[in-house]
Structures are given as C-alpha cells and as structure tokens.
Amino acid sequence: MVESITAIVTALGFPSVESFIGILLLAGAIIGAIVVIVTIRPLLDMFPYAYPNARVRARVGRLFSEKQISEIIESDDMEEVQNYLRGFPEYAKYVDQYSLEKALDTQLAETYDLVARIAPGDIQNVFRALLKKWDIRNIKSVITAKEVGLSSEETMELLIPFGDLKDDLGRLSEVNNITDIITGLEGTVYSQILEDALPAYESTKMVLPLEAALDKYYLENILKASSNPSDENSSLIHTYVGSQVDITNLKIILRAKVDGLKYDDISPYMISNGYQIRDWKLKDLMEAEDVNAVISSMEGTDYSPVLSDALSKYGQTGSISVFEKDLDIYLTKMAKNFALKKPFGAGPMIGFLNRKENEIKNLKVIARGKREANFSASVIKEMLV
C-alpha cells in the first residue's frame, strides 16, 4: 500500500511523500487564508465607520419628531418657541447667546463640524469641503451688511462662529466696502473668486454675481473632493453631491425661465459635472423657451416625474417654489435611502446631515411664522420640508 502511494507521488513529480504532504498543507493554508480574507474584508471595511456612525445615530435620536415639531408650531409666540428649544442642550447653549436664527445656524454649523471631525479618513475630505459652507455664508453676510451700511456690531450679529475664517470674522466685520472685503481675504481662495466677479458686480451694481461665484466655488469644490470614488462609500457620497449640483442648476434655470432670462444670462451661474444632468443637457435646459420646455427636456432622468408631478401645483399657484420644495424632498428621500442602503458605511452620515438641515429649515419657517402676522398653524405646516 505504502509502495503504491509512493509510486503515485513519484509519478506526479514529487521526490517524496513528505514533500507532497508539505505542498498539500501549504495549499490548504493558502486556501484558508483566502477564505479568512474574503470573510473578514467586509468587517474591515465597516470598522472605520463603527465609531462615527455610533455618534451619528445618537444624534439622530435627538432630532425632533413630528409630534415635537407640531408642539413647536402650536407655540403662541417667538418667546414660547425659544423656551421650548431651551429644553434641549444642543439648542439651549446658543438660544441664550444669539438671536434665534443665528442660534439655529450655529447649531447646524456645529453639527457639520462634528461630522467632519469624526468621518473616516477615506471620505473626510468631502465633509471638510462641506464645512466651507460657513465661510461662504459668512462672506456673503459681510457683503450684504456692507451694501446696506451696517455697523461692525450689526455685521457680527449675522456671522456664524464656525469655518476656516472664524478667527477673522471680527476683522472682516470692520471693513467698509467690497474692495476692502477682497483685501481682507487675501491669502485665501475667496479673494481671487471675488476679484474675478468684481467687474460683473460693478457693471450690474448687484451683489448677485459675487454670491453666485462663491456658491459655484463651493459646489465645484465638493464635487472635486468626491470626484474619485474608490469604493462604495465614496461613490455614494459622489452620487449625493452630484445630485445636489443637479438640483441647484435646475432651481436656477426654472427661476430664470419665469423671469424670461436667456442662455447668456444663465450660463455664468451653472455648475458642470452633475450626476444626471451632463453639460450637453444643461445647454438644452438653458436654451429652453419656458418652464414647460425645461420639464419636457428632463424626460429620461429621475427628476422628470418629480417636476411633472409639481407642474399642476405650479399651474394653480404660479409659484416656482413648488418645484424647489419637491426637488428638496427628492434629495431627502435619496439621503434616507442611502442611510438604509449603507447602514455600516457613509449612509448614516449623509442621512443625518440631510435630516438636520431639514430640521433647521423647519424651525426657521416656524420662527418666521411666529414673527409675522396671519400665519396660522396650518399655513406653517404647509411650508415645512
């Protein structure tokens, strides 16, 4: 028997039975290692997200429920709204420090800052790019403040103490005009952006070219940060950011068509490389005659049913906001779907930031309703996201 085995092993080209057994053991070890790697690879991919997602899920649990939002809507006045928010630590520390709108924006900025700090390294650049939202917001506030002649103290009341420029806000609030703002931003990317848009500002006497240039840089920078999706998490973020760009372009084009603007008026404000709306499609949309033509041109995209469903409401109200609201709802559903689709990856962070944005928007709507007359609870509810 032993001799037969030896003969078979020798026929296979092995010098001895021992060497054959050694090869078998080595092959078994390699196969075992492959099985282990295949088995634990998904766990290794999920590991960097375990801590961030635990932090995010804890914050999700603190978002206001529909019942709580209804309770805030039923408040008698602004003071009662503020008192309600004082019952929640994340809002209380800002409500007593700032005006209500600034308190809400500051809490949102703090949330963005938290997610940027805890996001895993492979996607952290995108969330850091999202933080530039507050630099952009603050620069636009300074521009507006100086256009209407606000003092340094009044300007500071408008600024949010987050972002890369947070230590420069006091100095920026003291400038007198647009040229001084550009000078004050020297050494940052924003100085050149505003300088390039300065001729359009000087010729139109409007701040829109300056604000649009800043918004365009912000979205293009986020696209760039997410432009090389290396895995499913990065791809998810790129899809979400690209969809934000699509929706921003659509909102601009729809408003432009209502105002009767043409291609040359719209094109400077467009952002290229969205998710579903490529450059050739953008050109078609900008050249469309009216709102109906824009919606017809969107056939074949996910935005087509969204816009088509809103068309009847637009016919009844004549307000372009019905399209904007439904596009925002579409993006919210996408974020929610990502949170469910990738629960152990980037999904919860995307979903949480979107829900937090909506919570702040809704609280601002409620605050506005309590400040102004003739806003019933039912009217306020219709305006919520």
| One domain for residues 35 and 160 | no
| One domain for residues 46 and 118 | no
| One domain for residues 262 and 225 | yes
| One domain for residues 372 and 280 | yes
Number of domains, the chain: 2
Each residue of 258-271: pLDDT tens digit? 999 999 999 999 99
| One domain for residues 25 and 102 | no
Alpha-carbon dihedral sign for residues 196, 198, 204, 208: positive
Q: Residue type for 131, please? A: L
pLDDT at residue 35, rounded to an integer? 52
| One domain for residues 43 and 164 | no
C-alpha distances (whole Å) from 301 to each of 233, 235, 277, 281, 328 are 23, 19, 8, 11, 16
Each residue of 33-75: pLDDT tens digit? 555 444 444 444 555 899 999 999 999 999 999 999 999 999 9
What is the mean pLDDT of the segment spanning 226-241? Answer: 85
pLDDT level of residue 82 (50, 70, 90 thresholds): very high
C-alpha distances (whole Å) from 257 to each of 111, 221, 326, 337 are 36, 27, 18, 32
Structural domain for 6, as ranges? 1-51
**Residue carrying the six token digits 């809490």:** 107
pLDDT at residue 21, rounded to an integer? 63
pTM of the model: 0.85
CB under 8 Å to 129, separation ≥6 — which residues?
221, 222, 224, 225, 226
Q: In this structure, how many other beta carbons lie within 10 angstroms of the beta carbon of residue 217?
A: 20
| One domain for residues 29 and 166 | no
| One domain for residues 257 and 321 | yes
Q: How many percent of the chain have pLDDT more than 70?
A: 88
CB under 8 Å to 297, separation ≥6 — which residues?
281, 284, 285, 288
What's the start-to-end Cα distance of the chain, in Å?
81
Indicate the angle between helix axes 347-371 and 17-60, nearest 10 degrees: 0
| One domain for residues 81 and 24 | no
Average pLDDT, the chain: 88
| One domain for residues 43 and 81 | no
| One domain for residues 18 and 95 | no
| One domain for residues 61 and 41 | no
Angle at 41 between CA 39 and CA 45, to 5 degrees: 140
